[in-house]
Structure 1
């Protein structure tokens, strides 16, 4: 069962260095579940989020927040009455988010992205306006990827969108049957360089 964490403590000194250490440890412990040993760079974060109009966004879901660079950037842009549900398989990452980010809009959940529908229902939220994911679809099995994308398309509002940042292009084949519009770009300044996919107009099944 997913565990919910509601962060209450302030950001500790040196949290940036702590985030890097935690990212390296988790990557080497579970390389197939963590996209990269390096947290997302500011270049990648800005490329992903700058085109998004956050004015009317109220419910955001993040898959694979890791040590939280995208989480922090999302919170910095989101309205004061919005909610961010961050879902990660690693309890170390979700504990880190709980301890490092003192923002009542954040709910960190230890669990699988495929369970997002159950989590959102449990919290009484939805529909979802934005999903952001950095989980590595190139290293998870295809049935799991299909379940995640089916759940995501069902969760999103008609105007909602999914943004995926990926080292490889595996996610494209998972997006195509479930979204009517997909745009792709590349951020070369990240380590490693990343594809950015923007999927909108979810297909209802």
Structure 2
């Protein structure tokens, strides 16, 4: 159940920032999405700038042709990814929340950006529907530990199959338990910790060798 008082307060913040004229701003949208489905959103506060830079720092952007994100929400990572992508690259953002997808379509007009309503478990079909066979990098902030039973390992396996050799699954979480899910499909997993975030986050890069 949503909180009208909380949403109204965040809407006022967004309006003061100049983003409320064409509908709810990113803070209100994020808060609303969390309240409606905390299992899929995972946090009430978007990721920090420091976390975003840290998470994206190991990607080879010059050779990235397809970047995929699971659970983009209100687009916290989107502009940073687009700023790094080449002019001929594609960025597919997959979310199960139709409100988030509608918001992304309304606020991001970059022709390289393709928001898709769907499940991360169907990543290969979604990629194929958009003319791609493999991704260079796949980013996820989905809360693996609270997903329905069996879905976490399935997403990890589908992600491994969707990546090119040398590509990576970029994952940021608040619980280190996510490594157990990644280890079912990836052998080489790098780890870092980002304290400048609320809450502090665990960062993982699972490589397809």
Under a length normalisation based on structure 1, what TM-score does the superposition of the two structures give? 0.89
* Contact kept in structure 1, 2:156 and 2:184, CA below 8 Å: no
Following the alignment from structure 1 to structure 2, what is the Cα–Cα distance between the partners of residues 31 and 201? Answer: 30
Aligned to 1:183: 190
What secondary structure sits across from 2:77 in the alignment? Answer: helix
Q: Shift of the alpha carbon at 1:72?
A: 1.5
Q: Shift of the alpha carbon at 1:192?
A: 1.2
Q: Structure 1 residues 66-75 or 17-26, which shifts more? A: 17-26
Residues 167-204 of structure 1, C-alpha deviation per residue, up to 9 Å, x if partnerless?
A: 112220111132121011111111111100001025xx
Pick from 42, 55, 65: which aligns with 2:62?
55
> What are the ranges of 5 or more consecutive residues in structure 1 without an aligned counterpart?
1-11
CA RMSD after TM alignment: 1.5
Pick from 22, 26, 30: which aligns with 2:33?
26
Matched, 1:111 2:118: yes
Give 1:125-164 correspondences, 5 Å limit.
125-164=132-171
Aligned to 1:101: 108
Q: How many residues align?
A: 190
Identify the structure with bigger relative contact order (alpha carbons < 8 Å, sequence gap 6+). Answer: 1
Q: Which has the higher helix share?
A: 2
Under a length normalisation based on structure 2, what TM-score does the superposition of the two structures give? 0.87
Following the alignment from structure 1 to structure 2, what is the Cα–Cα distance between the partners of residues 77 and 51? Answer: 12
What secondary structure sits across from 1:93 in the alignment? Answer: helix
Following the alignment from structure 2 to structure 1, what is the Cα–Cα distance between the partners of residues 164 and 177? Answer: 24
Larger radius of gyration: 2
Q: Shift of the alpha carbon at 1:94?
A: 0.6
Following the alignment from structure 2 to structure 1, what is the Cα–Cα distance between the partners of residues 109 and 130? Answer: 19
Q: Shift of the alpha carbon at 1:64?
A: 0.5
Q: Shift of the alpha carbon at 1:13?
A: 4.5
Aligned to 1:7: none
> What are the ranges of 5 or more consecutive residues in structure 2 without an aligned counterpart?
1-16
